[in-house]
Amino acid sequence: MMITIPDFLTTDQLRRCREALEKADWQDGRETAGDLAVRVKANKQLAPADPLVRELGDLILDCLGKNDRFLAAALPLKVLPPRFNRYEDGGTYGNHVDNAIFSVPGTPHRIRSDVSATLFFSEPDEYEGGELVIQDTYGSHTVKLPAGHMVLYPGTSLHRVTPVTKGVRLASFFWVQSLVREDSRRALLWELDRALGDVRRDNPESEAAPKLMAVYHNLLREWSNT
């Protein structure tokens, strides 16, 4: 399931992030790549210990907790602190699948990457190339969203970032361990949640609403991995 979240950041939040990232101390992204990924990765990232990572990451985490669309789609149990990357001058990241398990820096905790997320900071017309291409059982999907928008997609997906041939592409990326491990089950719960919202909006007094709500929560109870 691939879900886009429009206007995840406000105009002021986006401007704050952009100003900080444009002045940031970027490092070779291959330093965080595994044995296979290092062969196809050519971008820049902020070092995990950079104070800016914590500052902007905390802003994003705070927004996640307030975004109903994210909460309904990802059903988050744990979120890995956001990271930040920069693509320019032909920078690219070839086909790869993200690690199944990530360690949380500075802690003994680990997170399973059920859901991958990319938050865009650059407008589509500010750079050429740089599309996020996600492959799943239904084919290949190309994503290039406006600044401040975010996309969620299964962590199991093979994906890549095409070469940025002009301009600069700035983004944040992170992973979510969901309450519901299987993407197909998260998709069903997402559709049920949307349908329930439609019923409650169109007919607030509907007797079907509490029944649908009961089905939703009983499925979540049945499928939850906690």
Q: What are the strands, taking DSSP E only, across 30-185? A: 41-42, 44-46, 76-79, 83-87, 92-96, 101-103, 110-112, 115-120, 127-129, 132-136, 139-143, 150-154, 158-161, 164-167, 169-178
CA 143 – CA 4 distance, rounded (Å): 9
Q: What are phi and psi of 39, to 5 degrees?
A: -75, -20
pLDDT of residue 138: 81
What is the pLDDT, as a whole number, of residue 56?
98
Look at the chain and count its residues.
Answer: 226
pTM score:
0.94
**Tokens in use for 104?**
């949380």
The mean pLDDT value for 19-30 works out to 93
CA–CA distance, 102 with 109 (Å, rounded to integer): 9
Average pLDDT of the chain is 94
Q: What is the pLDDT of residues 31-56, one digit of tens each?
A: 776 666 678 899 999 999 999 999 99
Q: Which two tokens stand for residue 28?
A: 């070779």
CA angle 221, 223, 226 (to 5 degrees): 75
pLDDT tens by residue, 124-182: 999 999 999 999 888 899 999 999 999 999 999 999 999 999 999 999 999 999 999 99
- Measured in degrees and rounded to the nearest 5, phi and psi for residue 35 equal -60, -40
The closest of 142, 147, 140 to 171, measured between CA atoms, is 147
